[in-house]
Amino acid sequence: MLSHGSDYHAVKEAFEWDIPDSYNIGVDVCDKWAKRAPDRLALSFVDIDGNVADYSFGDLRDYSNRMANLLSSSGINRGDRVAILLPQSLETAFSHIAAYKMGCIAVPLFMLFGVEALEYRLSNSGARVVITNQSGVEKINEIKDRLPDLKHVYSIDGASAGGGTSAGAKDLHRDLLTHSTDFTPVETKPDDPALIIYTSGTTGQPKGALHAHRVLLGHLPGVEMSHDFFPQPGDKIWTPADWAWIGGLLDVLLPALHHGVTVVARRFEKFTAEAAFDLLAEQGIRNAFIPPTALKMMRSVSDPEIRWDLNMRSIASGGESLGTELLEWGQKTFGLTINEFYGQTECNMIVSSCAKIMDARPGVMGRAVPGHNLAIVNDEGEILQQGTLGNIAVKSPDPVMFLKYWNNPDATKAKFAGEWLLTGDTGILDDQGWIQFVGRDDDVITSSGYRIGPGEIEDCLMGHPAVRMAGVVGKPDPQRTEIVKAFIVLNDNFLGDDKLASEIQTFVKKQLAAHEYPREVAFVDALPMTTTGKIIRRELRDLG
Give the residue from 212, 246, 267 where a domain finishes. Answer: 212
CA-CA-CA-CA torsion sign (526, 531, 533, 535): negative
- 86 pLDDT higher than 70: yes
pLDDT, average across residues 226-234: 97
pLDDT digits (tens, 9 = 90+) for 117-172: 999 999 999 999 999 999 999 999 999 999 999 999 999 999 854 344 445 799 99
Supply the pTM of this predicted model.
Answer: 0.87
Three-state SS for 82?
A: strand
pLDDT digits (tens, 9 = 90+) for 168-210: 799 999 999 999 999 999 999 999 999 999 986 545 688 999 9
Q: Please tell me the chain's helix, strand, coil percentages from 3-state DSSP, rounded to the nearest 5.
A: 30, 25, 40
- Cβ atoms < 10 Å from Cβ of 335: 12
The model's confidence at residue 294, banded by pLDDT at 50, 70 and 90, is confident
CA 271/CA 495 separation, integer angstroms: 36
pLDDT, average across residues 207-225: 98
Considering the domain boundaries, does residue 118 fall inside one? yes
Q: What is the pLDDT of residue 352?
A: 97
Q: What is the pLDDT of residue 163?
A: 40
- 20 pLDDT higher than 70: yes
Give the residue from 212, 232, 263 where a domain finishes. Answer: 212
Say how many residues make up the chain.
544
User: Which position has the higher pLDDT, 199 or 104?
Assistant: 104
Q: What is the pLDDT of residue 533?
A: 56
Count helices and strands in the chain by DSSP H and E runs: 19, 27
* Contact present, 396 and 347 (Cβ < 8 Å): no
CA 538/CA 406 separation, integer angstroms: 29
Give the residue from 159, 182, 212 where a domain finishes. Answer: 212
The model's confidence at residue 445, banded by pLDDT at 50, 70 and 90, is confident
* 492: CATH: 3.30.300.30
Q: Give start and end residues of each alpha helix (H) in 335-406.
A: none
Residue 208's beta-bridge partner residues?
A: 198
- Do β-strands 445-447 and 390-395 pair in parallel, antiparallel, or remain unpaired? unpaired
Q: Which helix (H) or strand (E) holds 484?
A: strand 481-490
pLDDT digits (tens, 9 = 90+) for 312-368: 999 999 877 777 888 999 999 999 999 999 999 999 999 999 999 999 888 788 999
pLDDT, average across residues 277-284: 97
Considering the domain boundaries, does residue 530 fall inside one? yes
Angle between helix 498-511 and 115-125 (nearest 10):
30
State how many domains the chain has: 2
Considering the domain boundaries, does residue 179 fall inside one? yes
* Contact present, 423 and 344 (Cβ < 8 Å): yes
537 is in which domain, residue-wise?
447-543
CA angle (56, 62, 65) in 5-degree steps: 135
Determine if the peptide bond prior to 240 is cis (ω within 30°): no
Q: Which helix (H) or strand (E) holds 420?
A: strand 420-429
Considering the domain boundaries, does residue 185 fall inside one? yes
